[in-house]
Structure 1
Amino acid sequence: MTDAEIVITPVSDKAGRKAFVDLGRAFAHQVPNHVPQLRSEQLELVDPDRNPFFGHATVQLFIAYRHGKPVGRISAHIDHLALEIPPEQGMGPGTGMFGYYDAEDVEVSTALLARAEQWLREKGMRKVLGPISMSVWEEPGLLVRGEDHSPMIMMGHHPEVYKEWIQASGYVKAKSLLTYDLDVRPEFPPIVQRIVKSGERNDRIRVRSVDMKNLESEIAIVLRILNDAWSKNWGFIPFTPEEVAYAGKKLKQIIHPPINRIAELDGKPVAFMLTFPDVNDVLAKIDGKLFPFGWFHMLRWLHRPMGSGMRVPLMGVVKELHNSRLASQLAFMMISEIRENAMTEYGTERAEIGWILDDNQGMVAIADAINSKVNREYWIFEKPL
Structure 2
Amino acid sequence: MTTHHNGPITIHAVKDKAGKREFVELAYRLNRGDPAWVPPLKAEVFDLLTPGKNPWFEHGKAQLFLARRDGRTVGRISAHIDFLALEQPAAQGMGPGTGNWGLLEAEDAETAHALIVSAEDWLRGQGMNRALGPLSISIWDEPGLLIEGFDRPPTIMLGHNSPLYRPWIEAEGYRPVKTLYNYGVEIIDGFPPFVNRIVAAGEKNARIRIRRVDKTKFDAEAKLIMGILNDAWSDNWGFVPLTDGEIAYVGKKLKDIVFEDLVRVAEVDGEPVAFMIVLPNINEKLIDMDGSLFPFNWAKLLWWLRKPRSRTLRVPLMGVVKKMQHSRMASMLAFMMIEFIRRDAVRDYGTQYGDIGWVLDDNQGMNAVAEAINATVNRVYQIYDKPL
Alignment TM-score, normalising by the size of structure 1: 0.98
1:118-157 matched pairs, under 5 angstroms: 118-157=121-160
Unaligned segments of structure 2, at least 5 residues = none
1:231-250 matched pairs, under 5 angstroms: 231-250=234-253
Aligned partner of residue 378 in structure 1, secondary structure: strand
Residue in structure 2 matching 1:55, options 58, 62, 85: 58
Is it true that 1:301 corresponds to 2:304 in the alignment? yes
1:235-314 matched pairs, under 5 angstroms: 235-314=238-317
Residue in structure 2 matching 1:32, options 30, 35, 38: 35
Tell me the alpha carbon deviations over residues 295-345 of structure 1, each in whole angstroms, 9 at most, x when there is no partner: 121011111111331000000000000110000000000000010000111
1:371-382 matched pairs, under 5 angstroms: 371-382=374-385
Deviation of 1:159 after TM superposition, in Å, equals 0.8
Q: Which amino acid aligns with 1:195?
A: I
Residue in structure 2 matching 1:89, options 88, 92, 114: 92
Distance, in Å, in 1 between the alignment partners of 2:36 and 2:26 is 18
Q: Which amino acid aligns with 1:17?
A: K
Deviation of 1:4 after TM superposition, in Å, equals 8.2
- Rate the CA distance shift 1:115–1:285 in 2: closer, same or farther, 3 A: closer
- Rate the CA distance shift 1:2–1:149 in 2: closer, same or farther, 3 A: closer
Q: Which amino acid aligns with 1:321?
A: M
Residue in structure 2 matching 1:192, options 179, 188, 195: 195
Provide the aligned C-alpha RMSD in A.
Answer: 1.3
Q: Is the 8 A contact 2:213 2:264 kept in 1?
A: yes
Residue in structure 1 matching 2:330, options 327, 348, 359: 327
Distance, in Å, in 1 between the alignment partners of 2:379 and 2:199 is 28
Match of 1:341 in 2: 344
Greater alpha carbon shift after TM alignment, 339-348 vs 11-20: 11-20
Aligned partner of residue 286 in structure 1, secondary structure: coil
Deviation of 1:16 after TM superposition, in Å, equals 1.4
Is it true that 1:116 corresponds to 2:119 in the alignment? yes
Match of 1:162 in 2: 165
Distance, in Å, in 1 between the alignment partners of 2:344 and 2:372 is 20
Deviation of 1:287 after TM superposition, in Å, equals 3.5
Residue in structure 2 matching 1:219, options 219, 222, 225: 222
Deviation of 1:187 after TM superposition, in Å, equals 2.1
Aligned partner of residue 112 in structure 1, secondary structure: helix
Q: Which amino acid aligns with 1:32?
A: P
Distance, in Å, in 2 between the alignment partners of 1:296 and 1:8 is 40
Q: Which amino acid aligns with 1:163?
A: R
Aligned partner of residue 81 in structure 1, secondary structure: helix
Residue in structure 1 matching 2:9, options 1, 6, 10: 6
Match of 1:71 in 2: 74
Give percent identity, aligned residues only. Answer: 52
Q: Is the 8 A contact 1:97 1:132 kept in 2?
A: yes
Is it true that 1:365 corresponds to 2:368 in the alignment? yes
Distance, in Å, in 2 between the alignment partners of 1:163 and 1:241 is 35
Distance, in Å, in 1 between the alignment partners of 2:276 and 2:340 is 11
Distance, in Å, in 2 between the alignment partners of 1:356 and 1:200 is 27
Is it true that 1:352 corresponds to 2:355 in the alignment? yes
Distance, in Å, in 2 between the alignment partners of 1:305 and 1:285 is 16
Deviation of 1:140 after TM superposition, in Å, equals 0.6
Q: Which amino acid aligns with 2:299?
A: F
Aligned partner of residue 21 in structure 2, secondary structure: helix
Tell me the alpha carbon deviations over residues 29-83 of structure 1, each in whole angstroms, 9 at most, x when there is no partner: 2333111221111111111120001110011000001122111000000000100
Q: Is the 8 A contact 1:282 1:298 kept in 2?
A: yes
Distance, in Å, in 2 between the alignment partners of 1:230 and 1:344 is 31
Deviation of 1:194 after TM superposition, in Å, equals 0.7
Deviation of 1:25 after TM superposition, in Å, equals 2.1
Tell me the alpha carbon deviations over residues 113-133 of structure 1, each in whole angstroms, 9 at most, x when there is no partner: 001000000111010011100
Q: Which amino acid aligns with 1:22?
A: E
Q: Is the 8 A contact 1:175 1:381 kept in 2?
A: yes
Q: Is the 8 A contact 2:86 2:97 kept in 1?
A: yes
Match of 2:320 in 1: 317
Which consecutive segments of 4 or more residues in structure 1 shift more than 2 A? 1-4, 285-289
Deviation of 1:23 after TM superposition, in Å, equals 1.0
Distance, in Å, in 1 between the alignment partners of 2:359 and 2:34 is 24
- Rate the CA distance shift 1:287–1:67 in 2: closer, same or farther, 3 A: closer
Unaligned segments of structure 1, at least 5 residues = none
Q: Is the 8 A contact 1:141 1:380 kept in 2?
A: yes
Distance, in Å, in 2 between the alignment partners of 1:288 and 1:281 is 13
State the number of aligned residues. Answer: 385
Distance, in Å, in 1 between the alignment partners of 2:27 and 2:173 is 24
